[in-house]
A and B are shown apart, each in its own frame.
Chain A
Amino acid sequence: MSMQDQLVRRAQAGDHEAFGALVHAVIGRLYASARLILRDPDKAEDVVQDVLISAWRDVRALRDPGRWDAWLHRLLVRSCYRAAKQHRRREYVEIPFALDYDSAARDDLALVGLRDQLERAFDRLSTDQRMVLVLAYFADLSLLDISTALDIPIGTTKSRLHRAMAVLRAEIDSDARLATAVDGRTA
């Protein structure tokens, strides 16, 4: 049994300290996922708090400790949907600060301008599409775990992921074509 599984077991038995260790290990990634999905740091904090309180309250309903991550993300998805509904009343897009960028990751962005295009395209995606991309490419969940988190069949997960990527690619292509046209006129 892994250390995490043992901690889950202890949390299920009411060990608050074990739960604290679990929270400490996941809170940063949960917050980051929520912030990527919601694009609102305050809402993301509220969501993470909501998720973790629910996790403590209902951890005994989790029968397989190995499903802890998938279960947490399922709670996260639910909470994000709720927050997103409330959020529609005053929609805004978070503009990330440069300080938030990891230098190694920045160096890896070899294609000049692609990052900005990707971010713009990502911001134009629906909540559903952002969610599936974050779960797949940031939280690194398996297709099964994403299906569990989103409460949809694996086939639907695959098609939603495929569609989100297709929209991203189309947005980038569109930006590129626009830039080429502008360049042609100004040349």
Chain B
Amino acid sequence: MLPPIDLERQVRLMLEARAPHREPDRTFASVMEATRRVRQRPRYIASLLGHDAGWAAVAIRRVAPVFAVVSLAVAVLWSVGSPGRGGSPDLIPSPVHPTASSSPSLRASPPAIAEGEAWIAARIEGPGGPSRIELMRPDGSGRHLFAPAVEGPASYPDWSPDGRRIAFVADRLGSVWVAGADGTGAVQVASCTGSCSHPSWSPDGTRIAFTEYEGDEVTVGPTASSIRIVGLDGSNVTSIRSVIRLERPLIVDVPRWSPDSTLLVIAVDRFDPAGFETGAAIGTVPSSGGQIKYLTSFEEFAYYPDWSWATDTIVYSTEVIASKASPDPGDETWNLFTIRPDGSGATMLTDLSRGSRLAGPSWTPDGTRIIATRDDTHSGAFVDAASGLVTLIPGTDGASHLRLRPTP
């Protein structure tokens, strides 16, 4: 029989002795090289602002990643043009991310936004850099920078119902702004204690709902969030009020208006103390304030709803961002679902293969299609609302949070 020993100590010594006491020769260099070509996923992003002042604003960006069933021609073109294909799926090529100073297409005078012409406004995430808003036609042409005169990057565009103005968030300032479609006449209409996100025009164009996040410097991610509504008379603010406020473990987000403006559909995220997502659900709340009526369970991870004013139908995606149950987001499949406002008729619209991800859905104004994002390349896609057929939108590399301009 073995004499009594401190087995834990001996195991520690054995492991320490047996472990290699040097770094692998190739891995550090290869990791750093590889990560230069890998895009960061823009989930909840901590945007460090005002370093000198020593404060940080936390911006929540549950951006819609996506995946799509691609038409053969587009898939072939993409494959041919992507040196990373065939290797690790992580090593996707860096999409083209033109900047205002480097891209000829963005240096040139932007095309005029003609009355009645369809345009897509999208949030563009640079590789590791700040976001910005760009406009492009639905065929990908005419892509140019939406450049309102605000400090820092802009994101989360939303077209006014008449298609003449865009509400957006100024990331650095943590506030909601409105500007003309050509970027002129920018005015701030709301500010937030932490950061603002997801502005959403009401159907009559007189109000904008948005999310306000309350964060701190210690915790990455908001400690609480509110849905607020700002009333507008033209560009003048007439009122501002809170609809609902939730504190962690629940965070309310992504307000979108019902056709008659009496309700907002919202998303609610649920977290555990360690910050992992344990569920997400969508629900409705009266725009005048009140209780949430949940349309889905938290276990469905329903997120990013949008309400069609044409068909009175809600679309949402099933996004899992960082749960303990699925710590590897690459394994997740995110699909689009539709549901009636009373919670009935939930229907799985897309049926993507494992690991494919569609997210950030937004109805086209006529309610026949949904515009969404694919997660791995952040390019746009149209989804047929009847068949669920997914078609990539050319020229939308790096795009998320896409919104199609209403063209009355």
Q: Which residues of A contact B (CB under 8 A)?
A: 1, 9-10, 12-16, 19-20, 23-24, 27-28, 31-33, 35-36, 41, 44-45, 48-50, 52-54, 56-65, 67, 74-75, 78, 96, 100-102, 105-106, 108-109, 111, 114-115, 118-119, 122, 133-134, 137-138, 148, 151, 165, 168-169, 172-173, 176-177, 180
Which B residues from 36 to 77 make CB contacts under 8 A with A? 36, 38-48, 56
For the complex formed, measure the closest distance between the CB of A167 and the CB atoms of chain B, giving whole angstroms: 11
Q: Which residues of A contact B21 (CB under 8 A)?
A: 28, 32, 100, 102
Q: Flag whether B81 is at the interface (Cβ < 8 A).
A: no
User: Which residues in A have their C-beta under 8 angstroms from that of B39?
Assistant: 57
> Whole-angstrom distance between the alpha carbons of A28 and B16 in the complex?
12
Compute how far the CA of A46 lies from the CA of B7 in the bound complex, rounded to whole angstroms.
31
Q: Is the interface of A mostly helix, strand, loop or mixed?
A: helix
Given the interface contacts A53-B38, A54-B90, does A114 sit within 8 Å of B10 by beta carbon? yes
When distances are taken between beta carbons in the complex, the residues of chain B under 8 Å from A133 are: 11, 15
- Taking CB atoms, residues of chain B closer than 8 Å to A57 are 35, 38-41, 90
The 8 closest A-B pairs by CB, nearest first: A14-B128, A63-B275, A32-B19, A61-B322, A63-B221, A105-B17, A56-B35, A63-B220
Say whether A14 contacts B129, CB under 8 Å: yes
Starting from the known contacts A44-B24, A62-B322, 17 additional A-B residue pairs (CB-CB under 8 Å) come to A9-B48, A13-B48, A14-B40, A24-B28, A36-B18, A48-B24, A53-B90, A57-B40, A63-B322, A64-B219, A67-B275, A78-B328, A101-B18, A111-B10, A114-B5, A114-B10, A138-B12
Nearest B residue to A147, CB-CB: B324
Q: Is the CB of A108 within 8 A of B41?
A: no
B14 contacts chain A at the CB level, 8 A cutoff: yes
A27–B35 contact, CB under 8 A?
no
A61-B129 contact, Cβ under 8 Å, with A10-B48, A108-B13:
no
Chain A residue with minimal CB distance to B330?
A54
Q: B112 interface residue, CB < 8 Å from A?
A: no
**Is B34 a contact of A49 with CB atoms below 8 Å?**
yes
Given the contacts A61-B329, A96-B18, A27 and B46 also touching, CB distance less than 8 Å: no
* Chain B residues positioned under 8 Å from A138 (CB to CB): 12, 15-16, 19
Q: Most chain-B CB neighbours within 10 Å: which of A1, A48, A60, A67?
A: A60
A56 touches B10 (CB 8 A): no
Chain B residues whose CB sits within 8 angstroms of the CB of A100 once the complex forms: 17-21
Interface residues of B in 71-110 (CB under 8 A from A): 88, 90-91
* Minimum distance in angstroms from B386 CB to a CB of chain A: 34
Interface size grouping (class) on chain B: 35 or more
CB within 8 Å for A23 and B15 given contacts A54-B328, A111-B10, A176-B1:
no
> B274 contacts which chain A residues (CB < 8 A)?
64, 67, 148
List of B residues within 8 angstroms of A33 by Cβ: 19
Contacting pair B31 A102 (CB below 8 A) = no
- Dominant SS among interface residues on chain B: loop
Q: Is the CB of B1 within 8 A of A49?
A: no
Q: List 22 A-B contacts (CB under 8 A).
A: A13-B46, A16-B128, A20-B32, A24-B28, A27-B24, A27-B28, A28-B22, A28-B23, A31-B27, A32-B19, A33-B19, A41-B20, A50-B90, A53-B34, A57-B35, A59-B40, A63-B322, A96-B18, A118-B14, A119-B14, A119-B18, A173-B2
Residues on B with C-beta less than 8 A from A52 are 27, 31, 35
Answer whether residue B114 sits at the interface, using C-beta atoms and an 8 A cutoff.
Answer: no
B152 at the interface (CB under 8 A from A): no
Q: Is the CB of A48 within 8 A of B27?
A: yes
Interface contact A74-B327, CB-CB below 8 Å: yes
Chain A residue with Cβ nearest B60: A63
Q: What are the residues of chain A within 8 A of B330 when measuring CB–CB? A: 54
Q: Taking A63-B220, A111-B10, A173-B2 as contacts, is the C-beta distance between A13 and B47 under 8 angstroms? A: yes
Chain A nearest CB from B15 CB (Å) reads 4
CB distance from A5 to the nearest CB of B (A): 9
B17 with A64: CB separation less than 8 A: no
B173 interface contact, C-beta 8 A = no
Cβ A23 vs Cβ B13 within 8 A: no
Contact, CB under 8 Å: B41 / A61: yes
